[in-house]
Amino acid sequence: MSRTIHDVNSLGSRNTIARFWLLAMLVCLQLFAVSAKAILTIEVTQGNDKAVKVAVAPFNWQGERLLSEDLAGIVDNDLKLSGLFTPLPREDMLSFPSKASEVVYRDWNLLGASYLVTGKISQSGTIYDVSYQLYDIVRQKRIATGRFRGVESQLRNLAHRISDSVYQKITGIPGDFSTRILYVTAKRWNVGHTDYRLNYADADGQRQREVVRSREPILSPAWSPDGSKVAYVSFETGRPAIYVQELATGKREKVTGFKGLNSSPVFSPDGKWLALVLSKGDNPDIYVKNLETGKLSQLTRHFSIDTEPDWMPDGKSLVFTSNRGGSAQIYQLGVQVQPDGTMTADDKPVRLTFKGKFNARAKVFPDGKSLTLVHKGKGADAFNIAVLDLDTNRLRLLTSARLEDSPSVSPGGRRLIYAVQGGEQGELAIVTADGRVKYRLPSAEGDVREPVWGPARD
């Protein structure tokens, strides 16, 4: 919805606002209605010259046939994409150890590796047992071991869990490689026929799976806190409505379908509330719906456009975009749960952004100390991804393409995913929170938009 909010300053009378937003959402979707991606691939566009070198040796496997997945290769790729590590090429390795007695620290030190990961894979019936060891080359000692089990279809999951463990042991920060991403694709067959799909995939772009498909636009996807459900906006009935769908069963529920705008759903941190935007009173305002009782509460009442809510981690306030100050900016609004199962809000929201002529699409970091958002500076032509430190009010630009949108933060707060216009088509891109490493997830077939990073998984 980048085109929608970018036009917020040009809105006319109050009575036409709802119609404008509905039309703008449709126009925005036509901008990337080309074709759908089957699998997202990764292209690193900017690396980290201060990254730590790590070696991931091929895992020992004594089975009679080749495994369906290269677990060491997956771990190697995960660590590279974190932005903190530079993997040692496999062809440069002098040996492939699988146990401590086979590790020659001198060799790995000569190759410049600071850490070494080794592993073993065994099979009993349909169950695969995967163990790993992490060695500190400088201190010449094993510093971590782990073991995971699963069936063959879970081998990628096991590799990602090893990556999470290794990353956390070295950095002290939980890894986010076992997470998933949610995004929208579109395949245009002809002028009157476009297929829209809501998909999810592993954080590295692999194993794409379809959630729902429609001949009408799909917008604003969002994860539930436990990753079991997603919310989204669908135009399948000819007008926007918000749905919540279970991933495991495909069962879904229509949450709202009021006349006018139904947009921007986002689950509260405890999963009990759904914040959303409705224009059933002619003007787009922030509402919340109690998902247990079905009660709807209106939080903002202003003649301006209030949209794109996101929750602070404690669930006691929301941030949102509003043009109430004359341009699109980010505000924070405190909320309180009432005994009757409704929610009320503070009388006056607090403005958070002041730098630049445009700030929108804010998403809160997991620690609640920063926001990522779409920023346009005064006199600038580009819409870029930025991070706002809420304590210092310092705004840092992370990206520099001309049109970027829909930032979303990984559960560990180390990486951000966003949409970028890549030539004639939209692509997904990822940048580390310090801006050092950037890579894109393009497709050979078409356009992708509205990415959302999923929650951490057990």
Residue range 176-202, pLDDT digits in tens? 999 999 999 887 767 777 788 999 999
Spatial separation of the C-alpha atoms in residues 398 and 456, rounded to whole Å: 24
The mean pLDDT value for 316-337 works out to 96
What b-and-e string marks burial along 252-262, b requiring 16 or more CB atoms within 10 Å of the CB?
Answer: beebbebebbb
- CB atoms < 10 A from the CB of 14, how many? 12
pLDDT score of 28 more than 90: no
Cα 155 to Cα 117: distance, rounded to the nearest angstrom: 17
> 3-class DSSP state for residue 34?
coil
β-strand partners of 147: 131
Q: What's the pLDDT score for residue 1?
A: 39
Q: CATH assignment of 50-171?
A: 3.40.50.10070
Distances in Å between the Cα of 191 and the Cα atoms of 33, 221, 231 are 10, 25, 28
C-alpha dihedral over 284, 287, 291, 293, to 10 degrees?
-120
Query: Phi/psi of residue 3, each to 5°?
Result: -65, -35
Q: Where are the domains of the chain?
A: 2-31+179-453, 50-171
C-alpha 350/C-alpha 389 separation (Å) is: 15
- Across 13-22, 208-217, 407-416, 419-428, least confident range: 13-22
As a whole number of angstroms, the distance between CA 376 and CA 359 comes to 7
Euclidean distance between CA atoms 261 and 24, whole angstroms: 11
Neighbour tally for 90: CB within 10 Å: 15
Could you tell me what percent of the chain has a pLDDT over 70?
87
308: helix, strand or coil: strand
> Can you give the pLDDT at residue 10?
34
Strand partners, 425: 422
Instruction: Give residue 339's pLDDT.
Output: 95
The CATH number assigned to the domain with range 2-31+179-453 reads 2.120.10.30
Tokens of 81: 């994409």
Query: Which band of pLDDT confidence, cut at 50, 70 and 90, is reported for residue 3?
Result: very low
Strands (E), 47-136: 52-56, 60-61, 85-87, 115-124, 127-136
Q: Would the CATH topology of 2-31+179-453 be identical to that of 50-171? A: no
The answer to whether residue 255 scores a pLDDT higher than 50 is: yes
The region of weakest confidence among 125-134, 183-192, 349-358, 449-458 is 183-192
Among 40-54, 89-103, 186-200, 300-314, name the one with the lowest average pLDDT: 40-54
Q: Which DSSP helix (H) or strand (E) runs through 31?
A: helix 17-31
pLDDT higher than threshold 90 for residue 98: yes
Is residue 424 over pLDDT 90? no
Q: Give residue-wise pLDDT tens across range 216-238.
A: 999 999 999 999 999 999 999 99
**Mean pLDDT on 11-31:** 38
d(CA 432, CA 416): 6
Distance CA 21, CA 9 (A): 13
Q: Residue 41 and residue 373: Cα distance in Å, rounded?
A: 25
Predicted TM-score of the model (pTM): 0.86
